[in-house]
Structure 1
Amino acid sequence: MRTALLFTAGLTAAAVALPALAEYPDKPVTIIVPFAAGGPTDKVARDLAEALRKPLGGTIIIENVGGVGGTLGANKVAKASPDGYTLLLHHIGLASASALYRNLPYKTLEDFEYLGMVNEVPMTLIGRPNLPAANYAELAKWMEANKGQINLANAGVGSASHLCGLLFQSAVKIDMTTVPYKGTAPAMNDLLGSQVDIMCDQTTNTSGQIESGKVKAYAVMSSKRLSSGPLAKLPTADESGLKGFNLAVWHGLYAPKGTPKAVVDKVNTALRAALKDADFHKRQEALGAVIVNDARLAPAEHKKFVEAEINKLTPVIKAAGQYAD
């Protein structure tokens, strides 16, 4: 009798849970952006939210939880209720945090459900306006002649420009004085004012300055040239002589570990539809971003990709000895 009663209770609970799951979302879904409003990741999130509303069938709210290189916002999602109502839109920093932070409050590969990749934003190598190098070949000679005197700006520890700078130094085998700033804007201001020499940052932050001729542009750090926009004529690092250098700031969507598979599947289906939205494509193209359209749209492949990125970035970060508490 006891067994029968437990079985009946289980059926009743399931009967109650299934309709509730089928109605997801029946209240607003919050996407946490682990950076300040107005930045490139915030822009991607807001564009994506607009494209997601119809296929997901609900209201989407963007909440900015910046600080500590994106780890505060990521941790908030990792610790949130796994019901599909709190999601995370993060970039390559999710992969680098494992090596950068000694006391990371979450486990990147264990504390999230991976929902699918969104886009990739190529990095660009730029220099101060009065730098005496017109192309990458000349820049390489200048760097060789000025070893120990080169100032490399970035937007702060854990930022995309920080990672690109570390990888760039490793690739050219030249140590530079890393100058971290509290964001891209102050770093760019000092580059424009020739207070620092070079910076490696994403097209969302550099295309306007490149197009206006206010900085020297040397290469786009992607496997192939951009197909359109103001940077279409900018050669790749590989074309310029920096063989094999390829780095993009990718964005992905995540939920707390334990989110029901039915919810994961519904968000993934909605994401795939959103990435085909014409307006979303136009907005992303204007930022120099490339919409993901490959196996990484699947949660399992998304997770494999992030794991591979962790394995790629960790040795470089450890070799540089640039940790954060």
Structure 2
Amino acid sequence: MLNPRASLRAAGLAVACGIAVTPAIALAEYPDKPVTLVVPFAAGGPSDKIARDVAEALRKTLNQTVVVENTTGAGGTIGTARVARANADGYTLLVHHIGLATAPSLYRKLGYKSSDLEFLGLINEAPSTLIGKPQLAPNTLADLRKLIAADGDKLNLANAGVGSASHLCGLMLQSMLKSKMTFVPYKGTGPAMSDLMGNQVDLMCEQATNSTPQIEGKKVKAYGVSSLQRSAVPALANVPTLNEAGLPGFNFTVWHGLYAPHGTPPAVLTKINTALRAALKDPELIKREEALGITVVTDDRLSPAGHKKFYETEVAHWGKIIQDAGIQPE
């Protein structure tokens, strides 16, 4: 194996002599310093937790320190722009969720284009749950649908802000029900969930990673899980999917992917993708993800090409839903 210092000396000598550095040398060098995973959301949230789990697993597969940094603001677009403008050397990577696919429809101006990023592979998917305040009368989705059909505009549907997973899930729910509800945006999941548990708002479609403890504690009512398959989490085992409970085809999952700046050397991209594949087989990571109801991706979307194709499908899918809802880009 080529010693990293030796490879650096070789690279320096090659540059001094006007000789191009070969991909083999670049690959041998990577990673010879800590790698940064940028999360475009606040610490402590679902994306941050997932990124830290992935960082720990990547540390083992890359045999290098992997640091998580939170760069928040503007629905995740500020952190994304930071990575898009970073040096294309594989040392600054992005962990982002479904919001990357909805941003083009929600914001007039972005500090980046999708072509500014290299797609490295999808990481995981997590369902959401449709939950209601404790005092909401219906106990089943069938009865809730009747209430929405009769008085939908009088029902408040809370979310964690424009472009959040709860907002997107609510838009999809409204689209499939063909009924208008009153959307109530909050500055984060915490205050929205607090008001729901306090009977200040009626409904919320929130990630299972956040809602499961409230369902388990009977602090909210659970009407359905947003994925096609029921959750394996014990607290959600008896909660039907929205698909089986009267909304055929309803399938909403919050996914996360890994990205690098455009122009990162192919050899480095391949090494990162290989490390990601190995990381997602880590038993400790899988155990932590499954405990939260999260499914680790194992299909073709784990490849760069499959990831990009899936992303493009999601951009088109959500673009139509957002347009049909009459939401104007900010």
Find the partner of 1:22 among 28, 51, 57: 28
Instruction: Tell me the residue number matched to 1:197.
Output: 202
What is the CA deviation profile of residues 75-116 of structure 1, one whole-angstrom value per residue up to 9, with x for unaligned ones? 1001111100000000000000010101112112x1110000
Code of the residue aligned with 1:98 in structure 2: it is P
* Contact 1:114–1:299, Cα closer than 8 Å, also in 2: yes
SS at match of 2:236: coil
Code of the residue aligned with 1:250 in structure 2: it is W
Matches of 2:150 and 2:199 in 1, distance apart?
A: 18
Matches of 1:80 and 1:281 in 2, distance apart?
A: 30
Q: How does the TM-score come out when normalised to structure 1? A: 0.94
Using the TM superposition, give the Cα deviation of residue 16 of structure 1 relative to its aligned residue in structure 2, in angstroms. Answer: 6.6
Matches of 1:11 and 1:167 in 2, distance apart?
A: 59
SS at match of 1:14: coil
Instruction: Tell me the residue number matched to 1:304.
Output: 309
Code of the residue aligned with 2:157 in structure 1: it is L
Code of the residue aligned with 2:50 in structure 1: it is V
Instruction: Tell me the residue number matched to 2:182.
Output: 177
* Contact 2:233–2:291, Cα closer than 8 Å, also in 1: no
Matches of 1:301 and 1:16 in 2, distance apart?
A: 28
Residues 281, 64 of structure 1: CA spacing in aligned structure 2 closer, same or farther, 3 A cutoff? same
Q: How does 1:288-299 map to 2 (within 5 A)?
A: 288-299=293-304
State yes or no: 1:131 paired with 2:136.
Answer: yes
Using the TM superposition, give the Cα deviation of residue 299 of structure 1 relative to its aligned residue in structure 2, in angstroms. Answer: 0.3
Find the partner of 1:61 among 62, 67, 82: 67
Code of the residue aligned with 1:285 in structure 2: it is E
Identity, % of aligned positions: 59
* Contact 2:120–2:272, Cα closer than 8 Å, also in 1: yes
SS at match of 1:146: helix
* Contact 1:229–1:288, Cα closer than 8 Å, also in 2: no
Code of the residue aligned with 1:157 in structure 2: it is V
Matches of 2:328 and 2:76 in 1, distance apart?
A: 15
Using the TM superposition, give the Cα deviation of residue 147 of structure 1 relative to its aligned residue in structure 2, in angstroms. Answer: 2.7
* Contact 2:23–2:267, Cα closer than 8 Å, also in 1: no
* Contact 2:155–2:182, Cα closer than 8 Å, also in 1: yes
* Contact 1:151–1:196, Cα closer than 8 Å, also in 2: yes
Instruction: Tell me the residue number matched to 2:158.
Output: 153
Matches of 1:25 and 1:311 in 2, distance apart?
A: 36
Matches of 1:216 and 1:144 in 2, distance apart?
A: 19
* Contact 2:26–2:267, Cα closer than 8 Å, also in 1: no
Q: How does 1:26-175 map to 2 (within 5 A)?
A: 26-108=32-114, 110-175=115-180
Q: How does 1:274-285 map to 2 (within 5 A)?
A: 274-285=279-290
What is the CA deviation profile of residues 143-163 of structure 1, one whole-angstrom value per residue up to 9, with x for unaligned ones? 122132011100001101111
Matches of 1:255 and 1:199 in 2, distance apart?
A: 33
Using the TM superposition, give the Cα deviation of residue 322 of structure 1 relative to its aligned residue in structure 2, in angstroms. Answer: 2.1
SS at match of 1:276: coil
Using the TM superposition, give the Cα deviation of residue 18 of structure 1 relative to its aligned residue in structure 2, in angstroms. Answer: 3.9
What is the CA deviation profile of residues 188-209 of structure 1, one whole-angstrom value per residue up to 9, with x for unaligned ones? 0110111111000111110000
Residues 151, 228 of structure 1: CA spacing in aligned structure 2 closer, same or farther, 3 A cutoff? closer
Matches of 1:97 and 1:35 in 2, distance apart?
A: 14
Matches of 1:38 and 1:15 in 2, distance apart?
A: 41
SS at match of 2:57: helix
Using the TM superposition, give the Cα deviation of residue 282 of structure 1 relative to its aligned residue in structure 2, in angstroms. Answer: 1.1
Instruction: Tell me the residue number matched to 2:222.
Output: 217
Matches of 1:310 and 1:198 in 2, distance apart?
A: 26
SS at match of 1:238: coil
* Contact 1:123–1:203, Cα closer than 8 Å, also in 2: yes
Larger deviation, residues 221-230 vs 57-66: 221-230
Using the TM superposition, give the Cα deviation of residue 14 of structure 1 relative to its aligned residue in structure 2, in angstroms. Answer: 2.8
Using the TM superposition, give the Cα deviation of residue 57 of structure 1 relative to its aligned residue in structure 2, in angstroms. Answer: 1.7
* Contact 1:117–1:297, Cα closer than 8 Å, also in 2: yes
Using the TM superposition, give the Cα deviation of residue 17 of structure 1 relative to its aligned residue in structure 2, in angstroms. Answer: 6.2
Matches of 1:22 and 1:12 in 2, distance apart?
A: 20
Code of the residue aligned with 2:27 in structure 1: it is L
Matches of 1:51 and 1:28 in 2, distance apart?
A: 14
